[in-house]
Amino acid sequence: MGKFSKAIFLIISISTLLFAAACGGASDKSKSSDGKTTVKVGVIAWLNGSGASYGEAITNGLKLADKEINKEGKVNLKLITEDSAGKKDQAQSAAEKLINSEKVSAIIGPTLSTEMQAVGPIADNAGIPIIGTSNTAKGIPQIGDYVFRNSIPEELAIPASIKAAKEKYNAKKVAILYGNDDVFTKSGYDVMKDEAKKQGLEVTTTEKFQQGQADYKAQLTKIKSTKPDLILASALYNEGAVIMDQARKMGIDVPFVGGNGFNSPQVIDIAGKAADGLIVATPWFGGKDDEKVKKFVDSYKKEYGKEPDQFAAQAYDALFVLAEAVERAGSDDPDAIRDELAKTKDFTGILGKMSFDKEGDIVMDPTVLIIKDGKFQIFK
């Protein structure tokens, strides 16, 4: 072979190798020891800051599910976790990193509805299915065809808890208190306001607060003066627990009806006895007489030394739903996974039986609970 021919052969060989490398990099597949494709799943959670307990519960639930799923061996998942710190811009950066650098096939999270409003469009535009496990504000699944959630929205949960409280206490008048600087808490307020009207309840006053506020005496003094039968509160657990503690110290002893942000044991840890009387609606109840629930609670306590909450349970079930979609898809292709997620119907998990509607929203009935004697119990 002459020098010219050798040069041509070398150029062709290099070009072929580069093309093959480029093609291989596009799918970014990695194989496990059993030959199955490992599907990368991005996780965006609030792991530092005032709401870190939400993110801790979510990632604990995901890690436990991941351990069990990979042990079953039907699919191999690899969780890649990024901290959003509860900030919209940090959640956006995390999503871009997971999609563009890590080449994930799906995303779980982020924690807050405010974050999902920023991250959802990014995932949807990139064609990456994303599942919210703690987003309850109105309009989340409507962001796009690739956006799902298995957390019961406020427009389903809050009406159930208000109705139950109204009937139990023969309530006629309510006061509303909400955080006005967060999409989630504002969404909860909108539902509370509309539901009070639907159920014929008089709203004696509507008071606002901001995230991180420490003193609520001005708002609570106004509320106390109107003598409501119930207080409807839309808040994250930090503010919500402090509000109840200050209310009880001021002699306000009427029941609180809380939004989804109150569905955390942290409310009891922070507020103590003052948390008694809080009514919430949730898809999760750890005291349910169900073998799957008992197994999950026992495994979670063994792994983390404490009881799982709603956020851990929702994350746990979400990963199993995703794993089933991956198994049916038979690949790490995001489009195929998205299509199989959309077909989810009557999945039976620790939350109960769930399906996704045509918009990717969860279809499930909530359970109404009350905090009594320092623990969540069925509201009767």
Query: Domain 32-152+289-364, what fold?
Result: Rossmann fold (3.40.50)
What value does the mean pLDDT take over residues 136-141? 92
Query: Once rounded to an integer, what is the mean pLDDT over residues 263-276?
Result: 93
DSSP for 10-61? HHHHHHHHHHHHHHHHHH--EE-TTSPEEEEEEEEE--SSTTHHHHHHHHHH
Of these ranges, 37-51, 219-233, 255-269, the one predicted with the greatest mean pLDDT is 219-233
- Tell me the Ramachandran region of residue 90: left when phi exceeds 0, alpha when psi lies from -120 to 50, beta otherwise: alpha
Report the DSSP beta bridge partners of residue 130.
Answer: 107, 147
pLDDT at 105: 98
155-282, CATH topology level: Rossmann fold (3.40.50)
> Is the pLDDT score of 346 beyond 70?
yes
Strands 173-179 and 202-209, bridge-based pairing: parallel
pLDDT in tens, 36-52: 779 999 999 999 998 89
Q: Hey, where are the domains in the chain?
A: 32-152+289-364, 155-282
Mean pLDDT of 236-256: 96
What is the reported pLDDT for 256? 98
Alpha helices for the chain (secondary structure H): 3-27, 52-72, 88-100, 113-126, 154-169, 183-198, 217-225, 237-249, 265-271, 291-304, 310-329, 334-342
Give the mean model confidence (pLDDT) for residues 52-81.
96
Distance CA 283, CA 309 (A): 11
CA distances from 368 to 165, 258, 342 (A): 9, 11, 28
Question: What does the pLDDT read at residue 12?
Answer: 40
Who's near 351: CB < 8 A, 6+ residues apart? 150, 283, 284, 313, 314, 317, 364
pLDDT at 17 over 50: no
pTM given for the model: 0.80
pLDDT given for residue 263 in this prediction: 86
What is the predicted pLDDT for the residue at 121?
A: 98
Beta strand 230-234 with 256-258 is parallel
Task: For residue 30, name the pLDDT band (cuts at 50, 70, 90).
Answer: low
Confidence category of residue 35, pLDDT binned at 50, 70, 90? low
- The whole-angstrom separation of Cα 285 and Cα 380 is 14
- The token duo for 187 is 């969404």
Structure tokens at 13: 């060989």
Residue 33 has pLDDT above 80, yes or no: no
Residue 209: Cβ-neighbour burial (10 angstroms; 0-12, 13-18, 19+): buried
Query: CA torsion angle for 238, 240, 243, 244 (degrees, to 10)?
Result: -120
Give yes or no for a cis peptide into 265 (omega within 30° of 0): no
